[in-house]
Amino acid sequence: MNKIRIAIEGGAGYTAGELIRLLINHPFAKIKYIHSQSNAGKPVSSIHRDLLGETDLIFNDIDFSDSDVLFLCKGHNQSVLFLNENLLPDTLKIIDLSQDYRDESHAFVYGLPELQQTRITTAKKIANPGCFATTIELALLPLAFNNILNGEIHITAITGSTGAGQAPTESSHFSWRNNNISVYKPFRHQHLKEIKMVLKMVQADFKSAINLIPMRGNFTRGIFASLYVDCNQDLSAIKSYYESYYSNHPFVIISNEMPDLKQVVNTNKCIIYLEKFDNKLYIISMIDNLIKGASGQAVQNMNLMFGLPQDTGLHLKPVAF
């Protein structure tokens, strides 16, 4: 097949950097345009310094008529402005990595492949899920699919500093973040809206409270979510639900051993661990927030949109030590 011609808008941030890293090694992708308003004319590797020697791409303007797919890597509320201000060809497919279109009230399909693979294959516009949302939705989807998600959900989830974006803030500064941990947005995180939307898409009568305590970790990348729910079924039955649900989804792995975060860093995997304590089902779910939680999932969606195996270009080894 001809290579997919790719344009990236908002090319200077962490998600764009990871997207470029993945796509320059993708066998069916050709990056033609990377735009960053603040870095026009500069070598991409001068901003994404891990790409030194990997690419000679330059930040430039986008020719939408000469592109097959546009990745929007702009900040939240910026994708809406960009699409309102630019007339794009009807043939151009769009994958938005912000939260602007995740509620499916627009023409965008919510791009969680483990939920909407069929819809994604025919979609023209994809809203890439959030990182916390992806981690938690994948932890709970098999329960909702089997209509047994009926009690309150309790979640503590810790994320690396890259989840806060590239722009420096007080809470992402090394001297504050190192040897430190903190809670932010307890019970009010913005990803709760899309998590509830997804669970209701699968289990229509879902109405339970989702108690999410997000935490900032003193590491750079990854999300480790620890969940528990009431569940009277035995562990073998529950495991069979998960193994069946994810049997055709290559990136979700059900582990029989307690996992650790480094097993998913630099991969598009989600590793899930299940255990029962009396009537409580305990779940661990973990991903790399920049890969499965952002850029890797965006490439996975692109693969599906263009008729490729969804794991094309995403065979990545974890950084395990």
Q: Which residues are catalytic?
A: 131
The closest alpha carbon to 157, from 179, 174, 178, 140, belongs to 140
Identify the three-state secondary structure at position 139. helix
Pairing of strands 153-159, 223-230: antiparallel
Instruction: Assign 20 to helix, strand or coil.
Output: helix
* Sequence-ordered list of residues with C-beta below 8 angstroms from that of 215, at least 6 positions apart, any chain: 156, 157, 158, 159, 181, 182, 183, 184
HSE value, Cβ hemisphere, 13 Å, CA-based, for 155: 33
- Identify which of 16, 8, 59, 14 has the alpha carbon closest to the alpha carbon of residue 38: 59
Q: Which of 78, 73, 113, 114 is nearest to 97 (CA)?
A: 73
Contact present, 46 and 36 (Cβ < 8 Å): no
Write out the two tokens for 239. 């495991």
Residues 47, 52, 54, 58: is their CA dihedral positive or negative? positive
Inter-residue contact 217 to 160 (CB < 8 Å):
yes
- Round to whole Å and give the CA distance between 269 and 291: 8
Cβ(45)–Cβ(18) under 8 Å?
Answer: no
206, 141 Cβ separation under 8 angstroms: no
Phi, then psi, of 303 in degrees rounded to 5: -55, -45
